[in-house]
Amino acid sequence: MKYILNRLIQVFIMTFLALTVVFFIVQSMPGDPAFGLAVSIAQTRNMSLEKALEIAHNIIGYNPKEPIILKYIKFLKNIFVGNFGYSTYFKTSVNEIIGKALPWTLFVISLATAFGFFAGTTLGALSAQKRGTFIDTFIATLFSIIQAIPAFVLAVFILFIGAVRLRLLPLGGAYPVEMTPGFYPGFILALIHHALGPLIATSIPQMASWGLAMRGNCSNIIEEDFVRFAKIRGLSDSVISQKYIRKNAILPLVASLAIGIGYMLGGHTLVEVIFNYPGIGYYFGQAISARDFGLLTGLFSLIVIGVVFATFITELLYAIIDPRVKAQ
Amino acid sequence: MEVILSVNNLKAVYLVREGTIKACDGVCFDVEENTVSAIVGESASGKSTIIEAMTLTLPPNSKILEGEVIYKGKNLLNLSEHELRKIRWSEIALVPQSAQQSLNPTIKIIDHFFDTIYAHNNWKNNEIIKKAEELISLVRLDPKNILYSFPHQLSGGMKQRVLIALSLIFNPKILILDEPTSALDVLTQAHIIQLLKNLKKEFNLTLIFVTHDIAVAAELSDKIFVVYAGNIVESGPTREVLKDPKHPYTQGLVNSIMSLTSDLEKIKGIPGDPPSLLDPPSGCRFYPRCPHVMEECKREKPKNYFINENRRVACHLYK
Amino acid sequence: MKEFIRPILMNRKAFIGFILLSIFILMATIGPMIVPLNLSSNFAERYKPPSFQHPYGTDYFGIDIFQQMVHGARSVVGLSVLASFFAVIIGAIIGIARGYIGGFVSKFLDTIITIFLVIPSFPALLIMAAIFADRSLNMITVALIIAMWLWAPLAKQISAQVFSIKSREFIETSKMLNLGTFYILFKDIMPLLLPYIFINFITQLKGAMEFSVGLMFLGLAKFDPTHWGVMLNYALYQAGALYTPRGFHYPIIIMIHIVLLIYGGILFAQGIEEIFNPKLRRYE
């Protein structure tokens, strides 16, 4: 318990430091963050740019004359109360965008991770247990080739073949615009149909990396004395494979699932951009190309907080599920 | 006394990159019922290989070339996997050397009992728990505590005892132990030795154990087999062999023990180093270090010569 | 040198990886000298399939794809190698310092490493690139920006290695002999770390490649119009290659090159690792 409290304090310090870095990186971006908004205000309301800038500054709560340290404190305070800022490009609060986008991203990355983890660990264990056979060579080679394919190259390929050539997949969106969201079979099918591209592009590389990790873990464990002793005791191969080899190999991986999902929040950007899938990464891409500093800061802060907490959860999970760690 | 296990001309090798390691080269010995036999030798002399080959538990990169292991009129080496599984553990149990790493770190001790028993019989769960508690108390541990612990929560001596308890589940006829006392402190060693003595009486066990520690062999065994470079060079009743060793290697061993330590790993009494088993000397494998070396030792592998009814020496001196 | 080449020829993975990498390195170094680059558009030649005259065919503007790939290789390979090199240097220096010095400095460096580990690299890289996007960039600045987000895991691993090496006997001996920090670092510790650092350099190539191509693909830091990432961006968005059946070969060729280059690096790194760590090849 004391350990958890200690770690929690560390997590807060870490979040604070990481957010500080985020703040200063974004601060070093050139230009007035409200400029884009001001231009559009000036155009729509037909007023001088100067005046529009003032209004824009008010909307996003930004004061150019404010010293940087005050801005910094305000930024931290806002994040602390859960206010991620204002998007000048979409002209709405970042919280609203997060509310819209985060579910899609979480939907895709959790499904993709679940599939990638399941398929990867199963095939990886199989490969290790059939070491030296054709199956092993096949799986290991396949996985290392997949590792050489960046997720976005795979995404382009899937989009190219699936959506453009074969016209099996949609070209963007999370569901068809003409449909009303709800819990009915047609809509759910459409959801899956639209998520399929990002799902495949995300889960295949995941499968390969979980698979190679599992293969490595299993190959080490097969040589452990306790596996040999289990054979000596006459245990059946299936019990040894499940309870003695796979269980020991998979526990550390299960724990790192959380951290994987945390990093996916950020690593998913290009895939979502390519598939026009309206998740966090898509908006991140939009913010980059529109130079929407408010949105960038907000999303980036969210991703960083996500990763820090995922790391924390991973550690806890590891201590809970693996008796070897609990001892220390 | 009746012979319960008989090993004849057992040959086993390890296949490695550099060639074949001839770790067990034509080993013959008999084990009598209800006795304690010690197989002693330096590390890497092939003593563990002998018992692993006997029980067909060698690692995958090894091969048994020839020989037979007769138990109850059947050659164990010819049995099918199924028949072997029946005998293994229920009649012949083997406790491996690395007690510290031989338990699955992610399951509790009680689950080791469940897994082992399920593999052979369908007992009811409460029967299994009762048996496990009984055996754990038998090895002088507290069942309430131990059975629901994970392996890493136990000390080295405790783990060794758990392994012994596991090996007794089906009241085996023969219990084979590989270095039961190595990696334990002296006090724990004494406890384990005492425990084995008691168990032998209580269960009518035939014990075979491997050790590099002559003192342990002297303390526990009735009969001793001295291994040098994959061969048994001398065998006989423990007291006789240690009192009046015949083979020059045994003589060297015993002399050096008298001087200081009983630990073979530390012996410097015999000049020279044990040979590489990748490319062992021709003839008698001990000849390069032997003070009585003769011309024929280099050419011909010595046969076993009987000194008396119980004692055997593989040395040309006793032709 | 001989001791270095021989094991590479003996190990299948290292050998194939070496060949693949060599092809791309030759493409990047000698290639541009042999193959001319003609970037003037010729719409009559648009989307020609691979032929003798155009080995990889032509793109939307009728420009030879092979010429572009060869000239792009220079910035792709150069950028990845440079970024990976910088990352390894930063990672090694910080990692060794963190592992060797101890005390307050070590704590401070540890915090820095952890911060960089926690901040997801790719989004951070995108923001950095966006910051510098309007300034003129060259290969070295882009490589530095990429390296900034690659070094942290390496620093962490190296500091752990140094930590374990530090407590070995011969280091104690050197300390007792008062041989000085400089001697210990460069004569005792460095030789043990070098293979490890070298493997990491090659492994980092994958990250550097992915990052640089990803950046260019998003239209950031475009300092070279023939960089494969930029080409992939054109292939997808500007030239509409996706939507014309005739343009099929354009993006596919780029993708194959990207994947082969990374695969070469992975194979080479795996092979080298097996050579230095024989435990890995036990059953092969």
Q: What are phi and psi of B21, to 5 degrees?
A: -95, 115
- Measure the CA–CA gap between A305 and A301, rounded to whole angstroms: 6
Between A and C, how many residue pairs show a Cβ–Cβ distance under 8 A? 113
- Comparing alpha-carbon positions, the chain A residue that sits nearest to B61 is A223
Distance from CA of B169 to the nearest CA of A (A): 11
Percent of chain C's residues with pLDDT above 90:
1
- pLDDT band at C277, cuts 50/70/90? low
Question: Using alpha carbons only, how large is chain B's radius of gyration in Å?
Answer: 20
**Mean pLDDT for all residues in chain A:** 81
Distance from CA of A142 to the nearest CA of B (A): 27
Residue C125, domain member (yes or no): yes
| Residues of chain B positioned with their CB less than 8 A from the CB of A323 | 105-106, 150, 152
Closest CB from C122, C209, C266 relative to A267: C122
| Residues of chain C positioned with their CB less than 8 A from the CB of A274 | 236
C77 contacts C229 by C-beta, under 8 angstroms: no
Q: Per-residue pLDDT averaged across C1-17, rounded?
A: 73
Of B252-256, C22-26, C50-54, which gets the smallest average pLDDT? C50-54
- Measure the CA–CA gap between B224 and B311, rounded to whole angstroms: 10
pLDDT in tens, A293-309: 788 888 888 888 888 88
Beta-sheet pairing, B206-211 with B174-178 = parallel
pLDDT in tens, A64-98: 666 777 778 888 888 888 778 777 778 788 888 88
Q: Which residue has the higher pLDDT, B162 or C177?
A: B162
pLDDT in tens, B146-204: 888 888 888 888 888 888 888 888 888 888 988 888 777 888 888 888 888 888 888 88
Distance from CA of B296 to the nearest CA of A (A): 42
pLDDT at C278: 58
- Measure the CA–CA gap between A66 and A53, rounded to whole angstroms: 15
Judged by DSSP in three states, C38 sits in coil
Q: B264 to each of A161, A250, B46, B227, B259, how far by Cα in Å? A: 70, 41, 14, 12, 12
pLDDT at B267: 52
pLDDT in tens, B76-111: 888 888 888 878 888 888 888 777 788 888 888 888
Residue C253, domain member (yes or no): yes
Q: Per-residue pLDDT averaged across C36-43, rounded?
A: 69
Distance from CA of C233 to the nearest CA of A (A): 10
Distance from CA of C284 to the nearest CA of A (A): 7
The structural domains of chain B, with segments of one domain joined by +, span 3-83+174-318, 99-169
- Comparing alpha-carbon positions, the chain C residue that sits nearest to A288 is C130
Residue C183, domain member (yes or no): yes
Q: List the structure tokens of B82.
A: 């199924």
Judged by DSSP in three states, B15 sits in strand
Percent of chain A's residues with pLDDT above 70:
85
Q: Considering Cα of B253, then B255, then B256, then B258, what sign does the dihedral take?
A: positive
Counting as contact any 3 or more CB pairs under 8 A, the partners of A are B, C
- Measure the CA–CA gap between A19 and A85, rounded to whole angstroms: 14
Pairwise CB contact (< 8 Å): A232 & B118: no
- pLDDT band at A169, cuts 50/70/90? confident
- pLDDT band at C282, cuts 50/70/90? very low
pLDDT at C283: 38
pLDDT in tens, C152-162: 888 888 888 88
- Measure the CA–CA gap between B185 and B193, rounded to whole angstroms: 12
**Mean pLDDT for all residues in chain B:** 83
Q: Which residue has the higher pLDDT, C108 or B277?
A: C108
Residue with tokens 């593999």: B119
Q: List the structure tokens of C24.
A: 């791309």
Residue C50, domain member (yes or no): no
Q: For an interface test with A, give the residue of C127, C249, C253 to mutate (most A CBs within 10 A).
A: C127
Pairwise CB contact (< 8 Å): A239 & B118: yes
| Residues of chain A positioned with their CB less than 8 A from the CB of B150 | 323-324, 327
pLDDT at A122: 93
B57 touches chain A (CB under 8 A): yes
Q: List the structure tokens of A316.
A: 């806890």
Residue C42, domain member (yes or no): no
Q: Which domain covers residue C128, as residue numbers?
A: 2-36+65-280
Q: List the structure tokens of C93.
A: 């220096």
Q: Per-residue pLDDT averaged across A138-154, rounded?
A: 88
Residue with tokens 């090798």: B13
Strand partners, B228: B231
- Answer whether residue A140 shows pLDDT above 80: yes
Q: Per-residue pLDDT averaged across A118-137, rounded?
A: 89
- Answer whether residue C127 shows pLDDT above 60: yes
Helix axes A280-290, C121-132, angle to 10 degrees: 10
> CATH number of B3-83+174-318: 3.40.50.300, 3.40.50.150, 2.60.40.1930, 3.40.50.10860?
3.40.50.300
Percent of chain B's residues with pLDDT above 90:
0
Beta-sheet pairing, B174-178 with B92-95 = parallel
Q: Per-residue pLDDT averaged across A243-252, rounded?
A: 87
Pairwise CB contact (< 8 Å): A131 & C128: no
Q: List the structure tokens of B89.
A: 């553990």
- Name the strand (E) or helix (H) holding A313: helix A293-321
- Comparing alpha-carbon positions, the chain B residue that sits nearest to A233 is B89
Domain count along chain C: 1
- pLDDT band at C43, cuts 50/70/90? low
- Rounded to the nearest angstrom, the gap between the alpha carbon of residue C43 and the centroid of all alpha carbons in its chain is 35
Counting as contact any 3 or more CB pairs under 8 A, the partners of C are A
- Measure the CA–CA gap between B154 and A30, rounded to whole angstroms: 62
pLDDT in tens, A7-31: 888 888 888 888 888 888 777 766 6
Alpha carbons within 13 angstroms on the beta-carbon side of residue A140 total: 21
Write down the pTM of the prediction: 0.81
Could you give the domains of chain A?
Answer: 101-286 (1.10.3720.10)
- pLDDT band at C1, cuts 50/70/90? low
Distance from CA of C178 to the nearest CA of A (A): 36
B120 touches chain A (CB under 8 A): yes
- Answer whether residue C28 shows pLDDT above 70: yes
Distance from CA of A20 to the nearest CA of C (A): 10
Strand partners, B3: B32
Alpha carbons within 13 angstroms on the beta-carbon side of residue C81 total: 12
pLDDT at A121: 92
Q: Per-residue pLDDT averaged across C251-277, rounded?
A: 84
pLDDT in tens, C220-251: 766 677 778 878 777 777 656 566 666 677 77
SS (H, E, C) B114-139: HHHHHHHCCCCHHHHHHHHHHHHHHC
CB atoms within 10 A of CB B274: 19
A323 touches chain B (CB under 8 A): yes
Q: Phi/psi zone of residue B160: left (φ > 0), alpha (ψ -120 to 50 degrees), beta?
A: alpha
CATH code at position C130:
1.10.3720.10
pLDDT in tens, C84-101: 999 998 988 888 888 777
C127 touches chain A (CB under 8 A): yes
Q: Which of residues 238-277 of A touch B (CB under 8 A)?
A: 239, 243-244, 247-248, 251
Pairwise CB contact (< 8 Å): B88 & A232: yes
| Residues of chain C positioned with their CB less than 8 A from the CB of A164 | 242-243
Q: C77 to each of C35, C72, C128, C139, how far by Cα in Å? A: 17, 9, 21, 11
Residue whose C-alpha is closest to residue B113's, from B104, B192, A221: B104
